[in-house]
Structure 1
């Protein structure tokens, strides 16, 4: 979903330019080049000058063309990189992919857990576990020792827990593989959850609670999910001071011991290494970790729509514009219509941009998407910002475009553009081996077939205008749209009662504040 869900980059999907920058910094730091600030400043100016000179020269020698005259090379074919998949005797699934372009490697472990599995009276527990696993040190190394050892080698080890997964990751130069993988294994296997780091993590989480109403978009995202899933749903509930205060070190240990076992983990490593040597190294660091044969598959929370329509409002008197969310419960990625729904999103986005931004000039920020999740229903959402005085007009325009895509078959030009943009964005998610390997790990984690990415690509390419109209009529429910506005009540004229006779106020007061 557009901005309503924090989720979801795949592990190890780092853009190559940031990868190269980090690797360069590491290499330079080993030679202590950056000890001179003057040198760094001079180098930065030189690089900026060269880039600027190149751009000016290019601009002077290139005749601008109309966009219809531009020609682009065909999209590159998505190819699976060469990789090895094997399972350790303790049940850990391992993916290895050699990539010798840079003298570095990065890895990620997916752990079958998530904050959707934490107790309802201790919301925030999984987040704290994911933080203190790393910050709290290990049985062999204190937090400061870990930081120093990794910092000296420009390496990193990080952990976190999100809605549906736990993750641990590392980055290192190839020559430091054994040392960094050893520390990574320590963090996974032997975290101590130091009390002082637990206290710090809880304090930081409370600080986030205190500031959660600072940004209207954050309010809209949070409250919209509550309206869709229900305020007590694991997919929408939020940490409060009371739930955080209940979290103890024993809770962290129990949560960790319930889920962090080798037979509950998928590990992937990509980079500059020899596969046979890396297999031996993984065996040495993780092979003797004892499995838990009593792990049972967690029962996922049930999902049903909390509301099937209505207009809701959160008053923020200081605002001069309104943040709007409109949508309803959606579906999962394994839907046979996922490809056609992606194309539908592309068409609707272009229409919203052309109509609400370019023609009616109601906004500079509007979009819509059918945003499925892997193993539970996602959402259909249209959202954006508009001036307080155009709020009602903006919402009516959204409603009009949603109904229009159901009633009128899209044009061949709209279909071609939406398919091309969808395939473009998809292809660029697989530019590098780490991205593709990460996606394969994710598919295995959620029980999807390894060729799902090819199935999706073919489904998008095969989508017709009739398909788009069919899925629009089948999956989008205009009469069930939940509309949320975060804005200035007195400045919204005409009032929201022009949209519905009843406008339900949303109380965003922070309990205990």
Structure 2
């Protein structure tokens, strides 16, 4: 009986529970949680420096951030002076030599960084007084010397030189210059010419003009005491002389009159850089600020954005496609949607990006899309609150962006209130496909023919041409006429003669090479050995450890990838045999299968294009005869990818010229190898191919 009663009670409980809760309907959202942000304590020095202090005693650490909130600075014909100033700051002071400064900061386990408009430091709280003193001393009393100036100038010029053939760097420079104009701080171009006009006196003057306390904010957060901090800041920053930066005007950026393609020819590009951009005005204090952020997030803010899902997941055009909308209280600002795409789909990618922008303007987003991005923003916001520096950043934004004091306290509430209509209205206000500038940087000989046929919404999209410094130029010319009597064999013979002659090349029985490349601060080492007996060894090492090794010895061979060995297939052996020849051009001469396809630009040079096989093309400088590039097509995960190897900086070894600079590009990966050692007919033994 008791058992029966128990089951009856449980059955009744189950029935009542299910009657009260309908699990097929999601629970209603509760009110947005209230955000309690700790208000920073504030004070201001007589020179205008505003200071905010947030005490947080959870960890014995302190973070310091000095921000000088000046309007954008136009550097003019001395563009680069800001970079040089940043490079020279933070290297000691007039009272502490650079080496002593670095040594003390390192000994205290701290870090100090100073730029032309900012400074920051972090340390253990017990060293806070000294680190604050060092940061203030280095920031307010910099030791500018001619020697350091020359070092920084040399580094800046070297960086600019490296960017000359960097397609991504060219694309970014042109996108900004065309969007804002070269007479705007955000669009001006730093070049070798402008940097060479900068003197040490210009750096000193720039520092005096703009590193001033009128618009300066110092935020200190961590294990500190407010009164003690106030005393330390007053002592160290009161010597900062009161001053206001000079004011000037610059051109206001505007959109183009109609949608157009602005094309920059980059003959060495392995893929096209595509950006669709327009100018808008958005400030953090605007009512539609959050609406615009959510619209951009749905369009292209991440791997779930429409651009990514379309161009990568749907079409396979690219590794990623994204968009960004920015805010700026001083100037109209740029919205852009970007992707790096395969040459063959450049025109299609342009159309798809325009379609996605037009769709978010003309059609409401879905409830699911809006709900997902709201959840993402809310999650990121809540997680960021765990970081004490977030509080400091929020406090600084309220001060500098003229935000209401409860801007962040009501953030989640305002986020939740954004409607589908709000998102569409923001997209209509801040994005456009009627006045969009489409900037394409790519290999014109591959992409321009189709790019000139692009239509959108029934209208032809006109193409205008620019150089890599955003100057308007003429349409590039391709397929120059081949000189009479020139043939594939003539090109090969000219190359063979240029590097040393047939007799010397045939006398080479082996050679060994070691080259290095820097990849994100890590040294990549390439060791290569070849013989005239179909022997080949290539070993790629990272920090001395072999990551990938290929070995061929006649008709057998193997590959080792991260310790895993695999014997080569007959097809792989045949392919490596082609690469194993010390000078494959000797074989091309007798093969009779090589054809001369035309003349194309490669970098700044014109080159004969030789079709070696259906999947391999080689380019030879029309003037010097030297090989400048090889392009091969490989299939990776079902997609055809171009593998491009550039050859430069030819140097003579044993009477033969070898390229000492090898640049390899595949997809988004670029490696620039510098040959460190090269030996002819020595340094190779039979054991290298075991």
TM-score class, shorter: 0.7 to 0.9
- 1:346–1:419 contact (8 Å) kept in structure 2: no
SS in 1 for 2:93: coil
* Equivalent residue number for residue 418 of structure 1: 373
1:317 is aligned to 2:267: yes
Shift of 1:445: 2.9
Distance 2:220 2:165 in 1: 39
- The structure-2 alpha-carbon separation of the partners of 1:74 and 1:156, relative to structure 1 and needing over 3 Å to count, comes to farther
More relative contact order, 1 or 2 (CA 8 Å, 6+ apart): 1
Answer yes or no: is 1:178 the counterpart of 2:129.
Answer: yes
Residues 325-361 of structure 1: CA distance to partner in whole angstroms, max 9, x if unpaired?
0010022223321111111112212222232222223
CA distances 1:157-205 after superposition (whole Å, capped 9, x unpaired):
21113xxxx1011122222122211111111221121221111111111
**What residue is the counterpart of 1:303 in the other structure?**
252
Q: C-alpha distance in 2, partners of 1:504/1:405? A: 27
Q: Give the ranges of 4+ consecutive aligned residues of structure 1 lying more than 6 Å apart after TM superposition.
A: 73-76
Contact 1:110 1:167 in 2 (8 A): yes
In structure 1, the residue corresponding to 2:274 is in which secondary structure?
strand
Write out aligned runs for 1:414-453 (5 A). Answer: 414-453=369-408
Whole-angstrom CA distance in 1 between matches of 2:443 and 2:392: 47
Structure 1 residues 450 and 206: CA distance shift in structure 2, 3 A: farther
Q: Does the aligned pair in 1 maintain the 2:178–2:470 contact within 8 Å?
A: no
Shift of 1:88: 2.1
RMSD value, Cα: 2.8
Map of 2:44 onto structure 1: 87
1:58-113, Cα deviation, whole Å (9 max, x unpaired): xxxxxxxxxxx9xxx99976432342111123322111112223222120111244
In structure 2, relative to structure 1, the CA distance for the partners of 1:458 and 1:198 (3 Å cut) is: farther
Q: Could you tell me which residue of structure 1 aligns to residue 518 of structure 2? A: none
Determine the structure 1 residue equivalent to 2:141: 190
Normalising by structure 1, we get a TM-score of: 0.78
Query: Is residue 2:318 matched to residue 1:363?
Result: yes
Q: For residue 388 of structure 1, report the CA deviation from its aligned partner.
A: 0.9
Moved more, 203-212 or 494-503: 494-503
Measure the CA separation in 1 of the matches of 2:176 and 2:346: 21
Cα distance in 2 between the residues matched to 1:299 and 1:459: 37
Provide closer, same or farther for how the CA distance between residues 208 and 110 of structure 1 changes in structure 2, counting only shifts above 3 A. Answer: same
Question: How many angstroms does 1:494 deviate by?
Answer: 5.6
Quick check: 2:360–2:427 contact (8 Å CA) kept in 1? Answer: yes
Kindly state the Cα deviation for residue 407 of structure 1 after the two structures are TM-superposed: 2.2
Q: Does 1:127 align with 2:87?
A: no
Q: Distance in 2 between matches of 1:394 and 1:120?
A: 35
Q: CA 1:355–1:186 in 2, change beyond 3 Å: closer, same or farther?
A: same
Distance 1:388 1:432, change over 3 A: same
Confirm whether residue 155 of structure 1 aligns to residue 118 of structure 2: no
1:371 is displaced (CA, Å) by: 2.2
Distance in 1 between residues matched to 2:32 and 2:279, nearest whole Å = 33
**Does the CA-based 8 Å contact 1:268-1:437 persist in structure 2?**
yes
Looking at structure 2, the residues matched to 463 and 397 of structure 1 have their Cα atoms a distance apart, in angstroms, of 27
User: Are positions 1:377 and 2:332 aligned together?
Assistant: yes
Q: Which has the higher strand share?
A: 2
Equivalents in 2 of 1:365, 1:428: separation in Å? Answer: 26
Distance 1:200 1:79, change over 3 A: farther
8 Å CA contact 1:322, 1:385 repeated in 2: yes
Taking a change above 3 Å as real, the CA distance of residues 233 and 264 of structure 1, as seen in their structure-2 partners, is closer
Tell me the residue number matched to 1:27.
none
Q: Aligned partners of 2:469 and 2:432: how far apart in 1? A: 31
SS in 1 for 2:234: helix
Asked whether the 8 Å contact 2:177–2:189 carries over to 1, the reply is no
* Partner of residue 167 from structure 2, selected from 196, 216, 219: 216
| Cα distance in 2, alignment partners of residues 74 and 219 from structure 1 | 49
Task: Quote the residue 1:403 is aligned against.
Answer: 358
Matched, 1:103 2:60: yes
Quote the Cα distance in structure 1 between the aligned partners of 2:246 and 2:381: 31
Deviation, 1:476, is 2.1
State whether residues 352 and 366 of structure 1, in contact with CA within 8 Å, keep that contact through their aligned partners in structure 2. Answer: yes
Deviation of 1:420 after TM superposition, in Å, equals 2.0
Partner Cα separation in structure 1 for residue 447 and residue 212 of structure 2:
54
For residues 153 and 474 of structure 1, do their structure 2 counterparts lie closer, same or farther at Cα, with a shift above 3 Å needed? closer
Residues 353 and 288 (structure 1), Cα distance of their counterparts in 2 relative to 1, 3 Å cut = closer
Secondary structure class of the residue paired with 1:480 = coil
**In 2 relative to 1, CA 202–288 (structure 1 residues): closer, same or farther, beyond 3 Å?**
closer
Correspondence for 1:42: none
Task: Compare 179-188 and 364-373 and name the one that shifted more.
Answer: 364-373
Cα 1:354–1:156 shift into 2, 3 Å: closer
Aligned residue-pair number: 434
Identify the residue that residue 293 of structure 2 maps to in structure 1.
342
Counterparts of 2:410 and 2:177 in 1: how far apart (Å)?
33
Q: Is the 8 A contact 2:174 2:470 kept in 1?
A: no
CA 1:407–1:504: 2 relative to 1, 3 Å: same
Contact 2:33 2:412 in 1 (8 A): no
| C-alpha separation in 2, matches of 1:479 and 1:347 | 21
Instruction: Indicate how the Cα distance of structure 1 residues 357 and 75 shifts in structure 2: closer, same or farther if over 3 A, else same.
Output: farther
Distance in 2 (alpha carbons) for counterparts of 1:144 and 1:118: 33
> Which has the higher Rg, Structure 1 or Structure 2?
2
Larger mean CA deviation between 416-425 and 387-396 belongs to: 416-425
Moved more, 190-199 or 308-317: 308-317
Correspondence for 1:503: 463
Q: What displacement does 1:381 show?
A: 1.0
Deviations 1:271-306 (A, max 9, x none): 2222222222222222344423xx267345342226
Listed as ranges, the gaps of 5+ residues in structure 2 are 1-25, 455-459, 472-603, 605-690
Structure 1 residues 231, 97: closer, same or farther in 2, change over 3 A? Answer: same
